[in-house]
Amino acid sequence: MSRILPPGSTIGVLGSGQLGRMFAIAARRMGYRVHTLSPDEDTPTGQVADVEVRAAYDDLDAVRAFASRVDAVTFEFENVPSQSIEACAALVPVHPRAEVLHTAQHRVREKTFLSKNGFPCADFRHVRSFGELEAAAREIGLPAVLKTAGFGYDGKGQRMVRSMEELPAAWQGIGGAEAVLERFVDFECELSVVAARDQQGRFAHFPLCLNTHSRHILDVTLAPAPVEPRVAQQAVEIARGILETLDVVGVLCVEMFLERGGRLLVNELAPRPHNSGHYTFDACVTSQFEQQLRAVCGLPLGSTEQMRPAAMANLLGDLWAEGEPQWHRAAEFPEVKIHLYGKSEARPGRKMGHLTALCAGVEEARRRVLEAREALRPRRSG
């Protein structure tokens, strides 16, 4: 049975980055209060939230005190300890539930869940020693990708292995930690489905996205993905099966590879709003952030209808290397929306914001968002 939290209720967010910021904006717009907890202060979420609590995620006393002051809890990234989620769940509803986070934040558990439940994924092996790594490489073949079991995102904790001679350096490169060795997938493109389930088990999905990466970090997202309808339908059905099997309440993103032979393989799960769903803030009737709020508060899910084709381009800290970006130049593109996350320090690879272009077609949107991003670069005089 769903528990409805009306406007005026307070939602706690574990994590304080840009995903929490956009969630807080959606919540404030609908009349909800937001508290956020993280080890930092003056954070992207904290700048928008009603209350910002600075505490370590593993400080369970602080986490319990935080939970006691809110009506429900959610999280905005996977690296929150599942024990912290469980501590909150003893006091207030938490969505998605701790078991979902426990599965998705650890690659071995995630891959095992997918494999055991019949969801397509690349062949993999669990490795805990260099000897196991050598045996795994012989079993699944090379090239392959070595990935740390936990705390990996944006390509962190990953090493490509093309030959047996490269195994020692790869193992050392990830610190000799528990890992998975995964068969390298020769893919045509990377896709993602951002979807949601409410407390009644009703499912809704946003249009399939096509994602391109640079240095393992998402660079550009196109929505809807320019792929065959058959592929889009199959991707949605895979996502639906995963959310139902995990009994997700909230938003979850399923990242996939489309192999050159046309087969879809699940790559990763993100049990929260996702970078590839940022375009929904501007392009859809209901954004992924409002959808998360609705699920957490026991409300029916909103329409995921996309009103115009869209393209989203990330703004990384590298853009600031030669000075402050020329924001007025991007603002000259009337179909482009500017989103900045309020981060005070720009560092290479750090996500500082994004642009979204809304156009008549997805390829036109891609061109416009890239033109607008290029226009941001400071121009040298002389």
**Mean pLDDT of all residues in 58-79:** 96
For residue 9 the two structure tokens come to 């209720």
At residue 289, the 3 state secondary structure works out as: helix
Whether residue 340 has pLDDT greater than 70? yes
At residue 264, the 3 state secondary structure works out as: strand
pLDDT at 266: 98
**Residue among 33, 106, 101, 72 nearest 199 (CA):** 72
pLDDT at 150: 83
In the chain, alpha helices (H)? 18-29, 60-67, 82-89, 98-104, 107-116, 130-140, 167-173, 229-246, 280-283, 288-296, 327-330, 362-375
Average pLDDT, the chain: 95
Query: β-strands 209-214, 187-197: how paired?
Result: antiparallel
Q: Which domains does the chain have, with CATH numbers?
A: 10-94 (3.40.50.20), 123-183 (3.30.1490.20), 187-375 (3.30.470.20)
pLDDT at 382: 45
**Residue among 81, 45, 37 nearest 62 (CA):** 37
**Residue among 72, 42, 38, 44 nearest 57 (CA):** 38
pLDDT tens for 30-46 read 999 999 999 999 999 99
Give the residue with greater pLDDT, 378 vs 127: 127
For residue 28 the two structure tokens come to 């404030």
CA distances from 219 to 73, 154, 155, 315 (A): 30, 11, 13, 8
Confidence of residue 254 (pLDDT cuts 50, 70, 90): very high
pLDDT at 338: 98
pLDDT tens for 269-296 read 999 999 999 999 999 999 999 999 999 9
HEC letters along 17-82: CHHHHHHHHHHHHCCCEEEEEECCCCCCCCCCCCEEEECCCCCHHHHHHHHCCCCEEEECCCCCCH
**Mean pLDDT of all residues in 237-252:** 98
For residue 307 the two structure tokens come to 């009103």
pLDDT at 356: 98
CA distances from 348 to 136, 174, 216, 316, 330 (A): 34, 21, 13, 7, 21
Residue 36 sits at the vertex; the CA angle it makes with 34 and 40, to the nearest 5 degrees, is 150
**Mean pLDDT of all residues in 93-101:** 95
pLDDT tens for 135-165 read 999 999 999 999 999 865 655 688 999 999 9
Q: pTM surpassing 0.85?
A: yes
Query: pLDDT > 70: what percent of the chain?
Result: 97
pLDDT at 155: 57
pLDDT tens for 308-336 read 999 999 999 999 999 999 999 999 999 99
pLDDT at 17: 97
**Could you tell me the sign of the dihedral formed by the alpha carbons of 178, 256, 292, 51, in that order?**
positive
**Mean pLDDT of all residues in 95-122:** 96
pLDDT at 77: 87
